[in-house]
Amino acid sequence: MNKIILLSLALTQSAIAEKIPSGIWQQIDSNAGACGHCQITTNAVTPDILSISSNNGWVGYASYNSQQDKYMGVMQWESGKGGAYENILLSIDIKYDGNMAYLEAKSSIGNFSVRYLRN
């Protein structure tokens, strides 16, 4: 019985994800195209809400969903900076694994994913 309780506690602990820390993140790769200078800045606005801004003109907000172990939210490019995504609202999911963040964006005109490394 004690082994079952200990195993249950270990599984519970391993299922608890670390939240994305505030900081600057360098884009490593993207299926939307390479951008060696692209970065995002994350800021924990509250314990569960993250603001995200990029140096290529988009901003977003996401909230942490503990059931799905990811952040879920929206992003949009500032006026004049979005190209094909001008005035398009994208839904985003962000997963965090150690020092890597994985962003998936979906919209009515297309989807893309980006991988970031924390500086």
Question: Could you read off the pLDDT of 74-97 as tens digits, one per residue?
Answer: 999 999 998 889 999 999 999 999
SS3 state of residue 13: helix
Cβ–Cβ < 8 Å for 30, 112: yes
What average pLDDT does the segment 37-65 reach? 97
Q: Is the pLDDT of residue 3 over 70?
A: no
Strand partners, 91: 74, 106
**Which positions ≥6 away from 37 have C-beta within 8 Å?**
55
What average pLDDT does the segment 24-38 reach? 93
Rounded percentage of the chain residues whose pLDDT exceeds 90: 75
pLDDT at 64: 97
When mean pLDDT is compared across 22-26, 56-60, 82-86, 109-113, the lowest value belongs to 82-86
Query: Could you give the C-alpha distances from 88 to 38, 44, 55, 63, 85, in angstroms and in order?
Result: 20, 24, 18, 20, 5
